[in-house]
Copies of this chain bind each other. A is one copy, B any other.
Amino acid sequence: MPPATTAARYGSRPTMKDVAARAGVGLKTVSRVVNGETGVTAETESRVRAAIEALGFRRNDSARILRKGRTASIGLVLEDLADPFYSPLSRAVEEVARANGSLLFAGSSAEVPEREQELALALCARRVDGLVIVPASDDHRYLEPEIAAGIATVFVDRPASRIDADAVLTDNAGGAREAVAHLIAHGHRRIGFIGDRPHIHTADERLRGYREAMAAHGLAVRGDWVSMGATAPERVRAELDRMASGPDPVTALFAGNNRVTVTAVRVLAERERSVRPLALVGFDDFELADLLRPGVTVIAQDPARLGRTAAELLFRRLDGAAESPRRLELPGRLIVRGSGEFSPHD
């Protein structure tokens, strides 16, 4: 038997028009029923519902969106969906979106500026209501027309560059100061810092905090105690080996992020027991840090809270909050577990 209406063809779908025809009512009446509006007789409504059921109709929200303005979707652009730091952030953004009736587009920039821009603009072309961005680019002027056109945008983890925009950050410099002060309090004077590539905002801020804490305690920083660059294990390993050897080795390391910390833990675990243990404090907490021996002392960020805060600010903007851009800073938190409490003489 051939299909009764176009709607029954594979790959095509019934529309409100089809439902209206089958129920013998006008298009607008179907729309009323589908949207739960008042002013439809119970009898009419049940005829419409029967037609919807029989045809397997489901409203096309893409069409609805075109007519309505808001798309009830937001976009998230970050470095890497799979990164254990960013995945709780994503989840938090998603939860807030859900609570506000929005769907979430998610995409990874892989820390490539062009990919960030491509993704963000593709999302703008879809007319997402708003954007949460962990920036990879160092120039966000490309977003100015989009923001002016009404796409609310909140940056998270790192601020926007060359435009004035909302941002939710961790107090990176403050956390770094606390980490380094902790090592100093345990007697260290020669403290190394291995961080991510310079010009990444968080890396620069943590370096600043390191320098400030050293200066505040009257300690000079030797050039070869600081290393900024890719967080690839080979580089971190080589730099740590270098800093920890020679006539005047560092006695403690402040690791600038998660990946550096993990490599440092590996390197330290491999060193012979005879060698004096190096103290270690890392920026960013990570799963199982407490199960390692020694446990790893860290400055913990709260990525879920970063995401939640950013998304909530986004939806406040969408609800009309029109003050000038804000920068929110969340504190880091020192978690003492053992690796940061060796004295230089242990």
Contacts and interface: CB of A to CB of B under 8 A. Distances in A.
Interface of A: 10-13, 56, 58-63, 65-66, 71, 73, 80-84, 87-88, 90-91, 94-95, 98, 103-108, 121-127, 145-146, 148-150, 262, 265-266, 269, 286-288, 291-293, 304
Contacts of A95: 108
B71 A81 contact: no
Given A88-B82, A105-B105, A63 B66 contact: yes
A287 B60 contact: no
A108 B56 CA distance: 26
Nearest to A69: B11
Given A127-B62, A266-B291, A288-B262, A91 B108 contact: yes
Sort A-B residue pairs by CB-CB distance and give the 10 closest, nearest first. Answer: A11-B150, A82-B91, A87-B87, A56-B145, A61-B125, A82-B88, A106-B106, A81-B91, A82-B87, A13-B149
A135 B108 CA distance: 24
A287 B291 CA distance: 12
A22 B213 CA distance: 59
Contact of A123 (B56, B103, B122, B287): B103
20 contacts: A10-B148, A12-B149, A56-B145, A60-B125, A61-B125, A62-B62, A62-B127, A73-B105, A81-B106, A82-B87, A87-B90, A90-B106, A94-B106, A94-B107, A103-B122, A104-B105, A265-B291, A286-B287, A286-B288, A293-B293
Contacts of A145: 56, 58
Nearest to A144: B56
Contact of A62 (B66, B287, B293): B66
Contact of A58 (B56, B91, B146, B287): B146
A107 B291 CA distance: 31
A337 to B, nearest CB: 14
Contact of A87 (B81, B124, B126): B81
A285 B266 CA distance: 18
A98 B87 contact: no
A296 to B, nearest CB: 10
Contacts of A58: 121, 124-125, 145-146
Given A13-B149, A148-B10, A84 B84 contact: yes
A60 B108 contact: no
Nearest to A92: B82
Given A62-B62, A65-B62, A122-B103, A80 B91 contact: yes
Contact of A82 (B10, B13, B90): B90
A10 B71 CA distance: 17
Given A62-B127, A82-B88, A87-B90, 14 more contacts: A13-B150, A56-B145, A58-B125, A58-B145, A61-B122, A62-B126, A81-B87, A82-B87, A83-B87, A84-B87, A87-B87, A94-B108, A262-B287, A293-B293
A6 to B, nearest CB: 12
A286 B60 CA distance: 41
A287 to B, nearest CB: 7
Contacts of A83: 87
